[in-house]
Homo-oligomer: A and B are copies of this chain.
């Protein structure tokens, strides 16, 4: 069996200009980065404003398990399948997804560009640096950090309280040792003072969240200026704009802000742009890319991070709320293996048929379906991402159970067969978009108080009995309700369970959501509610994937997944 990188490197790519010409893009619209990667120029995006929007298809998943679900491959495979189905209608589908982070590339995953015959390419370039967007985001984040410490060093005219500074530096790397650091600084007079701080991985930077929510360069600049970095000695907020940082930060992000165009193995155009964490941020690609894609294609297949409880909820309540975007249909990805895992099967026994466990595990699937249908008014289809170990009895059972939940479950084999493996799913998606629309709705209105928003998500989406706030969170809440009550909340909790306990599989009920901390993302315009320990700087494993990555004699990169 070929590895992902072998499949990708064996593929005959088309020049990106040729791929894009199907979407009526020409060379003036694209800024090339080599022959197979381009950015969609700011001028082109401006020009597209008058076009009608296509249909937005959201791909999400059951609660993630170590068994793997395949959300990205399904996103890519579905778009390829749609293009096969739409070929004689002169309609087009495209992909809209997040950029990979270098951290996981060198750590465990070795890549984040799909897999098998559902990949975006050139995979080596997309996984390594790509067009430099994440580096630009790191630079903007770290320029602000340097300006803060320099301001204090140079006399601290703003009277920033060093202990109050919440702005951290970032790096696009899994570097555990940078989580907690002490800056051994001196002031200008030469006397020492220490400051505790640390690095987050770039995808966890508020600059990343802002980059992905901003609707224009000027909106980007305004939001960057609105970042709150800490407090004065008199507890007044200090903003990035107080340090005159937002202009240079925007200049650093200007080129990056233009969405990247690549192709799938079947030459479907894909916008791959931005990639915030799905815990302390909203976890989906940039608004700029999604909006541009809707102007360019009849169907845009996009994905949200983690499971539907986190990714889809935030996609809707944060991204759609601010931008007016509306998914026309939702694809909920599940695997027989992952559902058996949710049904209690050990990770080592997933290859054995187990109908009882599968049935039990569908509780997780059911809750996600209900959430999407009832709370968001969305049409849902289940994509069963096929594994060789799936038995016919298991597939049949899963289809029957899904039908009992009122949705179709369609077996997809795009990993092995590309778009041809997801034709049935494509037909169903098209059919769904032709049906009368359900009434799409947000989970809560802007004017609902923050605590009530958290409770609404916890009870309706997670199945929690109630919410408990730590003392710290209670104190923070009182302050935040005053000025930021109208912001949506972004819940940072484990992705592995509906609850905040990662070991509770299936669809736990009557659990308590414990909120440890509330954080203001003033530039991104949401409140982060942190439940449990949330890692914003991952570490490398004992045997990092990097050990096998290299360049061979022919000058090709090897060792990526």
List A residues at the B interface (Cβ < 8 Å): 31-35, 42, 102, 106, 124-125, 128-129, 131-132, 135-136, 138-139, 142-143, 145-147, 149-150, 153-155, 169, 171-178, 180-185, 195-196, 217-218, 221, 244-248, 250-252, 254-255, 539-540, 542, 544, 546-551, 553, 555, 557, 559
A sample of 19 cross-chain residue pairs with beta-carbon separation below 8 angstroms, ordered by A number, consists of A32-B32, A32-B35, A42-B555, A106-B146, A129-B132, A129-B255, A135-B135, A135-B138, A143-B173, A145-B175, A146-B173, A146-B177, A150-B175, A150-B540, A153-B177, A154-B542, A181-B183, A182-B184, A247-B551
Contact among B128, B150, B539, B547 with A176 in the assembled complex (CB-CB below 8 Å): B150
Q: Are A557 and B175 in contact (CB under 8 A)?
A: no
Complex Cα distance, B541 from A154, in Å, reads 8
Q: Are B217 and A550 in contact (CB under 8 A)?
A: no
Closest 10 pairs between A and B when the two form their complex, measured CB to CB: A247-B550, A149-B177, A135-B135, A248-B546, A146-B175, A132-B132, A248-B549, A182-B182, A180-B184, A150-B540
Complex Cα distance, B221 from A42, in Å, reads 38
Q: Are B539 and A153 in contact (CB under 8 A)?
A: yes
Q: Which residues of B lie under 8 Å from residue A124 when comparing CB positions?
A: 251
Complex Cα distance, B477 from A454, in Å, reads 64
A sample of 11 more A-B contacts (CB under 8 A), given A150-B175, A177-B183, A177-B195, is: A139-B173, A147-B544, A154-B542, A180-B184, A217-B555, A247-B548, A247-B550, A248-B549, A250-B551, A251-B551, A254-B555
CB distance from A28 to the nearest CB of B (A): 10
Q: Which residues of B lie under 8 Å from residue A195 when comparing CB positions?
A: 177
Q: Are A129 and B248 in contact (CB under 8 A)?
A: no
- Known contacts A147-B546, A555-B42, A555-B217; is A172 also within 8 Å of B139 by CB? yes
Q: Which residues of B lie under 8 Å from residue A142 when comparing CB positions?
A: 171, 173, 175
Q: Which residues of B lie under 8 Å from residue A172 when comparing CB positions?
A: 139
Q: Which residues of B lie under 8 Å from residue A246 when comparing CB positions?
A: 550
Q: Which residues of B lie under 8 Å from residue A138 when comparing CB positions?
A: 135
Q: Are A129 and B136 in contact (CB under 8 A)?
A: yes
CB distance from A128 to the nearest CB of B (A): 6
Q: Which residues of B lie under 8 Å from residue A173 when comparing CB positions?
A: 139, 142-143, 146
Complex Cα distance, B361 from A53, in Å, reads 70
Q: Are B251 and A150 in contact (CB under 8 A)?
A: no
Complex Cα distance, B244 from A175, in Å, reads 17
Complex Cα distance, B551 from A252, in Å, reads 9
A256's nearest neighbour on chain B, judged by CB, is: B129
Q: Are B143 and A546 in contact (CB under 8 A)?
A: yes
- Copies of this chain per assembly: 2
Q: Are B248 and A106 in contact (CB under 8 A)?
A: yes
Complex Cα distance, B481 from A478, in Å, reads 67
A549's nearest neighbour on chain B, judged by CB, is: B248
CB distance from A131 to the nearest CB of B (A): 8
Q: Which residues of B lie under 8 Å from residue A32 when comparing CB positions?
A: 32-35
Q: Which residues of B lie under 8 Å from residue A539 when comparing CB positions?
A: 150, 153
A131's nearest neighbour on chain B, judged by CB, is: B132
A153's nearest neighbour on chain B, judged by CB, is: B176
A557's nearest neighbour on chain B, judged by CB, is: B251
Complex Cα distance, B45 from A234, in Å, reads 61
- Known contacts A102-B139, A139-B173; is A182 also within 8 Å of B185 by CB? no
Complex Cα distance, B175 from A283, in Å, reads 30
A155's nearest neighbour on chain B, judged by CB, is: B542
Q: Are B129 and A139 in contact (CB under 8 A)?
A: yes
Contact among B132, B184, B245 with A135 in the assembled complex (CB-CB below 8 Å): B132
Complex Cα distance, B131 from A129, in Å, reads 10
A192's nearest neighbour on chain B, judged by CB, is: B180
CB distance from A9 to the nearest CB of B (A): 13
CB distance from A369 to the nearest CB of B (A): 40
Complex Cα distance, B195 from A513, in Å, reads 37
Complex Cα distance, B35 from A530, in Å, reads 45
A548's nearest neighbour on chain B, judged by CB, is: B247
Of the candidates A171, A181, A248, the one having the most CB atoms from chain B within 10 angstroms of its own CB is A248
Q: Are B549 and A147 in contact (CB under 8 A)?
A: no
Q: Are A546 and B250 in contact (CB under 8 A)?
A: no
Q: Which residues of B lie under 8 Å from residue A150 when comparing CB positions?
A: 175-177, 539-540, 544
CB distance from A201 to the nearest CB of B (A): 11
Complex Cα distance, B179 from A181, in Å, reads 12
A539's nearest neighbour on chain B, judged by CB, is: B150
Complex Cα distance, B429 from A79, in Å, reads 61
CB distance from A16 to the nearest CB of B (A): 11
A246's nearest neighbour on chain B, judged by CB, is: B550
Complex Cα distance, B36 from A33, in Å, reads 11
Q: Which residues of B lie under 8 Å from residue A35 when comparing CB positions?
A: 31-32
Q: Which residues of B lie under 8 Å from residue A550 when comparing CB positions?
A: 221, 246-248, 250-251
A196's nearest neighbour on chain B, judged by CB, is: B184
Q: Which residues of B lie under 8 Å from residue A196 when comparing CB positions?
A: 184
Complex Cα distance, B545 from A245, in Å, reads 10
Q: Are B177 and A106 in contact (CB under 8 A)?
A: no
Q: Which residues of B lie under 8 Å from residue A549 when comparing CB positions?
A: 247-248, 251
CB distance from A545 to the nearest CB of B (A): 8
